[in-house]
Amino acid sequence: MSKTVSEPEKNLPPLGSAPGIGRRMFVAAIALGLALLVSFLFTRYSAYRTVQQNFYGQALAPANPAFDFHLVDQNGKPFHLGELRGKAVLFSFGFTHCPNVCPTTLSDLAKVYRALPGRDREKVQVLFISIDPTRDKPETMKNYVPYFDSSFLGLTGTETQVAEAAKAYGAYYDIVRDSGADPNAYTVNHSALTYLISPGGTWKLLYNFDQLSDSRKMMEDIEKVLAGA
C-alpha cells in the first residue's frame, strides 16, 4: 500500500512570527513602564500635596538630610551644622555689604524669631552665611549679624567651604567687580532663599524672599516643625 504524503498548504497565514511577537512584547513593556511611572509620579505628587498643605513654606517631600556644612563662626571658632541638632535652624546666604536684600531678610527673621513664644525661641537658631569671605571675616560678621538680634550667629569660612555649602543647598552667587582698580569695589549677586532645618537634621522647608514678611505664617511653620510635623 502506497502512502501519500500531503504537502502543506501554501499561503496560509502564519500563526505568529517572532518579529510580530517581539513588537507586541516591546509595546506591552513600554505601556507597563509608563503606567508604573505615572503611578510613581502621582504617588510622589500626592505625598507632596499632603505635606505642602500643612506648611506656608515650600516643603521638601520627602525631606532630605541637611548637608552638614563646616564653616567658621563670628567668634573665629570652627562650626558645623550638626552642632545644632535638636534645634530648628533658619539660615540664608548673603554678605555684609548687601544694600537691601540681606538686611531685609535678617530684619524679617528677627521679627519672626521674636514672635515665637519664649519656650520655642530657645529651640530655634538663626544663621547668616556669608558668600563674600574675602571681606566678611569673623569680626565683620560679629559686628553685623547680632545687630538684628543678639542670638543670631554669623558664619564665614574659606572660599571652598562657602562654595561647598552654597552648592549643597542650591544657592547661587556671583561676584560682580567694578571697572575701577579698587579690588574691594565689587558687589555680589545672589539668590535670596531662606532654609529651615528640622531639629532632627532634615532640610524641611524653603522660603522665597517675599514670604519672610509674614511673621505669623512663618511662626506657625516653625512651631509645626518643632512639634515634629
Torsional sign, CA 204, 163, 143, 105 = negative
Task: Encode pLDDT of 94-133 as tens digits.
Answer: 999 999 999 999 999 999 999 999 999 999 999 999 999 9
Query: Which secondary-structure segment (H or E) carries 226?
Result: helix 215-226
Indicate left, alpha or beta for 11 from its phi (over 0: left) and psi (-120 to 50: alpha): left
- Expressed in angstroms, the distance from the first to the final Cα of the chain is 92
Confidence of residue 158 (pLDDT cuts 50, 70, 90): very high
Task: Encode pLDDT of 39-60 as tens digits.
Answer: 444 444 444 455 568 999 999 9
Exposed, middle or buried by CB within 10 Å (0-12, 13-18, 19+), for 4?
Answer: exposed
